[in-house]
Amino acid sequence: MIASKLTGSRKSLPKGARMVLDSLAEAKEMLSAKELAFRLKLKNPVSAPGLTTVYRSLELLSRLGIIQEVRLNSEEKRYELLNPGEHNHHLVCKTCGQSTKIKSCLLGASNESPSFEKELLSEYGFKVSSHVLEVFGTCKLCRERTENKEQTENYDAITLQGANDESCISR
């Protein structure tokens, strides 16, 4: 479990941040600050941290690289847990809003190619400290749905044209 790998640094975290972290670990999905505050309140009606503390905790946890903030479209920021030293990118469907984590980082080093960040340093003298990359488009399910719909629409168009042809012949 991710949280257990962080036991060392966890102990030094403020109580609010630890509660936020636990709540995020339990959720296993991206949550916004408001959703987190709501969940915490449900669980601990008396001692739950307020929204301001949740925001501050999220900032702290992001800075420590324990969680990552993700911005999908114009929605409010969402947060998810990270494996130590890693970060995530997402494929975001603009139709249904579902997002899929992608494991590979286009900008980082891989076995086949040198790091894009290194290239930026050598080509432009630019030192990258962090990057954000989310990919927007249409997911497989939504694509299949629209393709089926288009097929029916094409079919309708053909039958319509057929009817017109017939009426021409009968004249």
Residues in contact with Zn ion by CB under 5 A are 93, 95-96, 105, 107, 139, 142
Q: Give min distance, CB of 124 to Zn ion, in A.
A: 18
When the beta carbons of 46 and 147 are compared against Zn ion, the nearer one is 147
When the beta carbons of 41 and 87 are compared against Zn ion, the nearer one is 87
Rounded to 5 degrees, φ, ψ at 94 are: -80, -15
Distance, in Å, from the CA atom of 120 to the CA atom of 118, rounded to the nearest integer, reads 5
When the beta carbons of 109 and 160 are compared against Zn ion, the nearer one is 109
Distance, in Å, from the CA atom of 66 to the CA atom of 88, rounded to the nearest integer, reads 12
> Between 33-43 and 51-63, two packed helices, what is the crossing angle to 10 degrees?
120
Q: Give min distance, CB of 71 to Zn ion, in A.
A: 14
Token pair recorded at residue 137: 């488009």
List, in sequence order, every beta strand (DSSP E) within 13-66: 31-32
Q: Which of 75, 67, 78, 72 is nearest to 91 (CA)?
A: 72
When the beta carbons of 30 and 139 are compared against Zn ion, the nearer one is 139
Q: Give min distance, CB of 33 to Zn ion, in A.
A: 23
Q: Give min distance, CB of 73 to Zn ion, in A.
A: 13
